[in-house]
Homo-oligomer: A and B are copies of this chain.
Amino acid sequence: MAGNSQSEFKGVEEALKAIEGPEHEEVYRVLYGRKHPEIAISDDAKKLAESGNFELKGYSVSASPEQLRTPRIVRIAAIQNQIVQPTTAPVAEQRDALHKRYAICVLHPRKTPMDGIRRVCLQRTNDQISYSKKYGIVIISPILERDEEKDDVIWNTAVVIGTNGQVVGRSRKNHIPRVGDFNESTYYMESQLGHPVFETEFGRIAINICYGRHHPMNWQMYALNGAEIIFNPSATVGALSEPLWGIEARNAAIANHCFTVAVNRVGTEQFPHEFTSGNGKPAHKDFGHFYGSSYVAAPDGSRTPSLSRTQDGVLIAEVDLNLCRQTKDSWGFRMTNRLELYAKSFTAASDPEYRPDVRKAF
């Protein structure tokens, strides 16, 4: 197995255990919001996770009972993993090894009280699986899409595979990083599909791919189109983004009254040739540590604990989608968002002739 980084720090929640009693409760409340009860995991499932070398955690995110709607409970599974074969292995071998790895992560929990996973999100890798039909689940699988019908253009895409085993939707990456030498715009294009939301059997979902999480408007437009869960499959490393990771997807859940699912890769991957990062530092053979830490954020400002920073894992969140509208009604952000004002302001500001409203104050 490539890229395990054994000496890395495992994660914040483990460390917080050093704080005891009521103080721990308070720290947890301020940092994570209300506490979500764990879902029971059977001994069988624990053994499977242990022999498969992946972490397995599950939390239940409840909503208040309503008089006119029944609860709308769905189970989300977020899978984070490291690469299985080294980066120098033939591409098909790398892909096939990942498929086998997902088979372990996705299918084993089916035998357990985790039964009934209804939606699965994979971190950003270039492959695709098709257990949807067999197991009655919706899968979101990030791929690198070669558009053979359209001039061989490449897109950074996530496909939605329905319970019928077919690709029932696709979302493409709206915002492409231009960070130092890491400029992905040299090999694929910005999406021209806008902000599609997919109505599945289990709720309305959208996919904000990777670097798009840095853009609050991107999350917001998916939410304005009705998304109840927005997935953010990512592949990002510590030095660049770790202090941002717990902030951005969670802020999006809060601001937009929806669930967000932030999924990241794990491990440190070695490449055969050195490359630079355009930051004035020496060339290197890895990107740094992909810190995992996948989590689910709820519209009420709470969030689940993270998966580990160092190990493969499956995070289950059993969520009641009624919480979206309940929070929307209670906090009123949607009602007070003054969308027309911003439509006008952003239109003005995107004009090359726009002069910022700066007033001399001295």
Contact = CB atoms under 8 A, between A and B. Distances in A.
Number of copies: 2
Given A217-B342, A331-B179, A350-B343, A26 B15 contact: yes
Contacts of A197: 356-359
A302 interface: yes
Contacts of A255: 214-216, 248
A71 B26 CA distance: 39
A345 B221 contact: yes
Interface residues of A, number: 95
Interface stretch (A46-54, A311-319, A333-341): A333-341
Contact of A335 (B22, B178, B217, B359): B178
Tell me the dominant secondary structure on chain A's binding face: mixed
Contact of A221 (B26, B194, B245, B349): B349
A187 interface: no
Given A179-B331, A301-B244, A362-B199, A194 B345 contact: yes
B9 A361 contact: no
A162 interface: yes
Interface of A: 9, 11-12, 15-16, 18-20, 22-24, 26-27, 29-34, 138, 160, 162-164, 168-169, 174-180, 190, 194-201, 204-205, 211, 214-217, 220-221, 224-226, 241-248, 250-251, 254-255, 279, 301-302, 330-333, 335-347, 349-350, 356-362
> Which 8 A-B pairs give the minimum distances between C-beta atoms?
A216-B216, A33-B243, A198-B361, A251-B251, A168-B361, A9-B26, A343-B346, A343-B347
